[in-house]
Amino acid sequence: MSEGVQTAGGPAQTVAVRQPPVWRRLIGFNLLTGVLLGIGGWYLGWWLGHQVSGASIAYFSDTDQNDIALFLGYFTAVVGFLIGMGFLQYPIARLRGYPPSLREKETEGIGRYFGLCTDHKVVGIQYLFGVGLFFFIAGLNAMLIRFELLRPTPVFNSGNYLTLVGLHGTMMMGMMTSAVLGPFANYFVPIMIGARRMAFPRIESLTFWLLMAAGGILMTTVFFGGFPTGWTGYAPLGNQANYGMDSYIMFFALVGISMCLLGLNMLATVITMRAPGMTWSRLPIFVWGVISTSILNLLAPPVLVAALAMSLLDRTAQTTYYLQSGGGSQYLYQNLFWFFGHPEVYILALPGFGILLELLPVFSRKPLWGYRLAVAGMMGVTLLSFLVWQHHLFVSGINSSLRPFYMLSTELISIPTGLTFLCGLLTIWRGSIRFTVPMLFALAWFFNFLIGGLSGIFNSDTPSDTTEHGSFYVMAHFHYTIMGGLVFTFFAAIYYWLPKMTGFQLNERLGKIHFWSMFLAFNSTFLPLFAVGLLGQPRRVVTYAPHLQFLNDWVSASAFVLGLSMLVFLYNLVYSLLFARVRAERNPWGSLSIEWQLPSPVPVQNFDTIPVFQNDPYGYGDGAGPVTRPVGVPARGR
């Protein structure tokens, strides 16, 4: 460890450095340059595309739609953005013979949050606000969707409504994949395993900015007429769609690359950078959740990128990968998409398991029950999630003889998921439970995921799924698992770790209001949707049967309350971080995990010396004294 033992922040060189004027500081590799080069790049690619293919499209095609120009525009926009952010600076410097370095770009001050930064803690906070921004945009879309469904007859124009549905789904499924791995794993995994950085700090920053570029590209779809396919982007419809579809393809491809790199980085970090004594059986369970998610992150998205590459070729080069009439098959897209898509939903759910099991011991003052079992459960889900994708295609008309197998493999997932329930329930059993805000959000997981899981049994059962497939029942099911499983634990993690990340406490009273309003409104929103689906309302419809209006209105009203509860959270965040500014203690929850033994917020170098671990962080209830230990020495006798 050459970057060694210098203290956090370093002794300030008190030489009065004169700050250059603002306009001078804006020149260089930063967000402004990135955005400008991105926009410039877009116009360059657009122009280039028209030079390349404009004439032939004008001659051969019956429309003037030039998808090649748009894709080229997006490509060059992303490249320009990354160059402007300074991602090529280091590779070029290395080519010119500069010595290798691992950590640069770690300046103090607010500016580091708006650019390429190799400090994993800065990237974690960037992720939190970046992902949070898109979470709220997608949530607003959901509010508009529910506004439309207040009436059985349309309120919005049909195409706009489909774009809203597509944007909500795509943004949630794309951006929220990194909702936990982005902010919390980037911030805390290196600390938890006793490292000072991620294995690939520049790739770490790249994953974040790729995700933001992807989000920006998805937003531009509104300038190109939106896309009609929802988040699944099924093929013949996607081939038929207008310009806006290209934004979807670019978005998901970039998200796929970002996810893949993120998973790779996490795995490399945990495998290679654990401090002395941090054996595999001492890893915090959250890190195991991150590992299992990262395996999925590494293996699933390449399939998506390949599928989207074929979509791109279908739309630009007029290939027919997905067109039956041209010798292709729409089933190819469905298979590839769901081979990614099913692991994807576990990419969303598994971090929730990790957070749940990480928080329960802290707030029940009890060791994690069945550590190995919990790990086995998460790994079991990881493995099985690759074997179940055709349950999305039970009525699609492919190999009906395989249906019993996919029914079995899907139901087998209940076994490892059940292990998480067992470990969670027995961790709080005979504990000493404190009902703090993070604990409340974690406990809500049990209820939500129970309903999500049990409704999933109906979905996995082929006869029962005949009616449920493609209806609001499925929609309610996955909102229970993903919103109930991920978003609730995501908020648990925010309330739990934000004091460590920012150094300021969140208001507990507002937190409790947020929790109860969100929990009740969430259940009131999604429970009736099971009935709505079974009674015959397909997903993504702009109109519905008049006799379902009461249920739909109930759901919409609850959804608006759910939206308001998010405003409570936003208010809490702004109030606590900007106005109240109550300093967080070093270890407000009395946790034994190492991140809580460090100052809040964690200093740049994390540790003064690399810690040596002697046991896992779950030694609660052993009768040892108060839970404060010197930094870098997480040991406590058992």
Partner 1 sequence: MIAIWLVLSVITTPIAALVIGPLIPPGNDSVQGMGQVFDNQVLIAVSAPIMCFVLVVLVYSLIVFRQREPAAEGLPIRGDAQLQVYWLVVTTAVVLGLAAFGTYELVKDGAGGGQGPSPTFLPPNHNTAMPVQVIGQQWEFTYRYPTFGGIEIPHLYLPANTLIKLHVTSLDVIHSFWAVNLGVKADANPGTDNIAYVETRNPTKIEIRCAELCGLWHGYMFDLQGRVVSKTAFEPLMKAQQKIYGPVSKFLPPFATSYSPEPTLRAG
**How far is residue 559's CA from residue 556's CA, in Å, rounded to a whole number?**
5
Near partner 1 by CB under 8 A, which window of 115-123, 208-216, 459-467, 480-488? Answer: 459-467
For residues 196 and 119, the answer to whether their CB atoms sit within 8 Å is no
Least distance in angstroms from the C-beta of 311 to partner 1: 13
Near partner 1 by CB under 8 A, which window of 15-23, 92-100, 119-127, 419-427? Answer: 419-427
Q: For 192-283, where are the E strands, in sequence order?
A: none
Near partner 1 by CB under 8 A, which window of 215-223, 298-306, 468-476, 557-565? Answer: 468-476
Least distance in angstroms from the C-beta of 573 to partner 1: 27
**How far is residue 397's CA from residue 481's CA, in Å, rounded to a whole number?**
27
- Residue 407 binding partner 1, by CB under 8 A: yes
Residue numbers 291-350 binding partner 1 by CB under 8 A: 318, 323-326, 330-331
- The DSSP secondary structure of 263-330, one letter per residue, reads HHHHHHHHHH-PPTT--GGGS-HHHHHHHHHHHHHHHSHHHHHHHHHHHHHHHHT---TT-GGGT--H
Q: Which is nearer to partner 1, 148 or 344 (CB)?
A: 148
Q: Which is nearer to partner 1, 13 or 63 (CB)?
A: 63
Interface mask toward partner 1 for 367-406; x: CB under 8 A: xxxxxxx-------------------xxxxxxxxx-xx--
The alpha carbon of residue 615 and the mean position of all alpha carbons in its chain are separated, in whole angstroms, by: 30
**How far is residue 598's CA from residue 606's CA, in Å, rounded to a whole number?**
8
Interface mask toward partner 1 for 546-585; x: CB under 8 A: ----------------------------------------
Residue numbers 146-165 binding partner 1 by CB under 8 A: 154, 158-159, 161-162
For residues 159 and 568, the answer to whether their CB atoms sit within 8 Å is no
For residues 45 and 77, the answer to whether their CB atoms sit within 8 Å is yes
Near partner 1 by CB under 8 A, which window of 80-88, 111-119, 336-344, 366-374? Answer: 366-374
**How far is residue 608's CA from residue 267's CA, in Å, rounded to a whole number?**
25
- Residue 425 binding partner 1, by CB under 8 A: yes
Least distance in angstroms from the C-beta of 52 to partner 1: 20
For residues 411 and 457, the answer to whether their CB atoms sit within 8 Å is yes
Which residue in 27, 58, 271, 454 binds partner 1 (CB under 8 A)? 454
Q: Which residues of 184-209 are buried (b: 16+ CB within 10 A; e: fewer)?
A: bbbbbbbbbbbbbbbbbbbbbbbbbb
Interface mask toward partner 1 for 32-61; x: CB under 8 A: -----------------------------x
Q: Please give the structure tokens belonging to residue 76.
A: 């060059």
Paired strand residues for 538: 471
Near partner 1 by CB under 8 A, which window of 82-90, 381-389, 448-456, 567-575? Answer: 448-456
- Residue 615 binding partner 1, by CB under 8 A: no
Residue keyed to tokens 């971090």: 351
- Look at the alpha carbons of 422, 427, 428, 434 in this order and tell me if their dihedral is positive or negative: negative
- Residue 588 binding partner 1, by CB under 8 A: no
Q: Which is nearer to partner 1, 87 or 321 (CB)?
A: 321
Interface mask toward partner 1 for 73-112; x: CB under 8 A: ----------------------------------------
Near partner 1 by CB under 8 A, which window of 52-60, 207-215, 504-512, 619-627? Answer: 619-627
Which residue in 34, 86, 289, 431 binds partner 1 (CB under 8 A)? 431
Residues in the chain: 638
Q: Which is nearer to partner 1, 81 or 445 (CB)?
A: 445
Q: Which is nearer to partner 1, 247 or 265 (CB)?
A: 247
Amino acid at position 88, single letter: L
Residue numbers 206-235 binding partner 1 by CB under 8 A: 228-230, 232, 234-235
- Residue 513 binding partner 1, by CB under 8 A: no
Near partner 1 by CB under 8 A, which window of 119-127, 172-180, 543-551, 629-637? Answer: 543-551
Q: For 320-380, where are the E strands, in sequence order?
A: none
Q: How many residues contact partner 1, by CB under 8 A?
A: 105
Least distance in angstroms from the C-beta of 43 to partner 1: 25
In 3-state terms, what secondary structure has residue 583? strand
For residues 105 and 118, the answer to whether their CB atoms sit within 8 Å is yes
DSSP class of 623? -
Amino acid at position 256, single letter: G
Near partner 1 by CB under 8 A, which window of 93-101, 276-284, 444-452, 507-515? Answer: 444-452
In 3-state terms, what secondary structure has residue 254? helix
